[in-house]
Structure 1
Amino acid sequence: MKNFITLFIILSTFASCSPKSESKNLTYVKLEIVKTEKDFERLVTEKGPAEGFYQFADSNAVIKRENDSLIIGKNNIKKYYLNLKLQNPTITWSPDAVIVSDAGDMASSYGKYKWTTKDASGKEKTTKGVFHTVWKKQKDGSWKYIWD
């Protein structure tokens, strides 16, 4: 009976530890994604959307833009953002939620964004909306988006 109680205590301890450590790892991944989002936003602010969206894209990334157009591949994404009408915007965004796969190698984030541009006369135009980004962990441990 004593061995049974000892075995029960050991198994209970292992069972109760597993979800907590898994939860701790997923919480860490969520923090990584929030940091990646902020680094992405900072690079877009400093270097412009063409460079920012290029640097944070997986090689096979896809973005969906106006008229449900899909732009496929990081080089095509960069070309898209080099369009003159997309130059020098002020873009801000922040994730409201981050969801992480059980394996911790995929995640998605969504939240609100604000995109402000100036026309030729200097008049500001602001667009607001909701973004949804799907992130994939790379072999080097960094995160790149595969869908935006």
Structure 2
Amino acid sequence: MRCLLSLAVIFCFSAISLTAQNFPLPASSSSADPLSPPPSTTANPLEQPTLSPGVILLMELDGRFEKAVEEGGGKAFASWFANDAVILSNGKPAVMGHTAITEQSHWDPKAYQLTWAPEGAQMGPSNEMGFTWGHYEGRSKDKNGQPVVISGRYFTVWKKLPSGDWKVALEASADAPPTSGECCTLPKP
């Protein structure tokens, strides 16, 4: 019984502490701790216990985008981009505009599977632009039928169009870092 009472007291103090961290008192309050730093005027979404509606929207958009591409391949990929969108890929020239993106996005999902998982997002103050980021993976087979897997990080900037639709304004990706030991291997002469 004494153990349960102790756990209840610890839980209550933890809840009060978390509430105080997430909802600091104004500096003018007489009960504010004079030794603690002043409360920030901008919230860091990574420190918040819950996600804002804007972040949830961006994560949902990113998930719907990924699902559409998984099912529809390159054609579905291109359909998510704004007319003035840009793609920046590792070691390749920028692809600018919806037309150019469509011309380069012609893979069949049966031959190449591009999947990704968002790890985070931030919505801008106007709620009309934001970004997501995460890890991607591309799977295909080489000419001998052997599996080929590429992976890396991605960053997607989303913008809300005047119609209310959300489209990709910028998509950037970079290859995954080398596995341990690959960074120090010198090419053979």
TM-score by length of 1: 0.75
- 1:62 and 1:87, CA in 2 relative to 1: closer, same or farther beyond 3 A? farther
> Aligned equivalents of 2:110 and 2:89: distance in 1?
16
* Deviation sequence 1:87-118 (CA, Å, 0-9, x none): 83111111111011111110011111111111
Q: List alignment gaps of at least 5 residues for structure 2.
A: 1-41, 43-47, 172-189
CA contact (8 A) 1:81 1:87 kept: no
**By percentage of residues, which structure has more helix?**
1
1:41 maps onto 2:66 in alignment: yes
Matched residue SS, 1:67: coil
1:80 aligned partner: 104
1:111 maps onto 2:116 in alignment: no
Q: Report the CA distance between 1:142 and its aligned residue.
A: 2.0
Whichever residue aligns with residue 48 of structure 1, its letter is G
Q: Of 108, 111, 123, which residue of structure 1 is paired with 2:146?
A: 123
* Deviation sequence 1:27-46 (CA, Å, 0-9, x none): 11211111111111111111
> For 1:17-96, what aligned pairs fall within 5 Å after superposition?
27-49=52-74, 51-82=75-106, 88-96=111-119
Q: Report the CA distance between 1:66 and its aligned residue.
A: 4.2
Matched residue SS, 1:69: coil
1:136 aligned partner: 159
Aligned length: 125
CA contact (8 A) 1:135 1:144 kept: yes
> Aligned equivalents of 2:107 and 2:78: distance in 1?
14
Matched residue SS, 2:111: coil
Identity of aligned residues (%): 24
CA contact (8 A) 2:120 2:134 kept: yes
Q: List alignment gaps of at least 5 residues for structure 1.
A: 1-18
Matched residue SS, 1:40: helix
CA contact (8 A) 1:96 1:110 kept: yes
CA contact (8 A) 1:58 1:74 kept: yes
Larger RCO: Structure 1 or Structure 2 (Cα < 8 Å, ≥ 6 residues apart)? 1
> Aligned equivalents of 2:166 and 2:139: distance in 1?
26
> Aligned equivalents of 1:88 and 1:120: distance in 2?
12
TM-score by length of 2: 0.60
**By percentage of residues, which structure has more strand?**
1
